[in-house]
Amino acid sequence: MNRNLRDWYMSAFPTDELGERLNANITLEGVLESLKKGEDIYDFIGVGDSIVRERIFTEIADATGCEYDDIYLLWKDGQKD
């Protein structure tokens, strides 16, 4: 979870050009903390793409032993109406 988000993403998805746009100063754990605070995840990660978000949520779920739906619902519950 302490892996750099952009480094992990670019390694896992080397052909996705959006990886270069991800915030270079955050970790996967930082993304999870941002979700818990209800922050705008797209602003936090630096990319407003749902496929990128899904990949990150999947990695967080795998790393924490949670289900993807747990991470997704955490995000949905934190979104502003």
The two tokens of residue 20 are 């270069």
SS (H, E, C) the chain: CCCEHHHHHHHHCCCCHHHHHCCCCCEHHHHHHHHHHCCCHHHHHCCCCHHHHHHHHHHHHHHHCCCHHHHHHHHHHHCCC
Domain with 70 in it: 5-78
Query: What's the pTM?
Result: 0.92
80, pLDDT greater than 70: no
Rounded mean pLDDT of the chain? 94
Average pLDDT rounded to a whole number, residues 46-74: 96
pLDDT tens-digit series, residues 19-54: 999 999 999 999 999 999 999 999 999 999 999 999
How many structural domains are present in the chain?
A: 1
pLDDT band at 77 (very low <50, low <70, confident <90, very high): confident
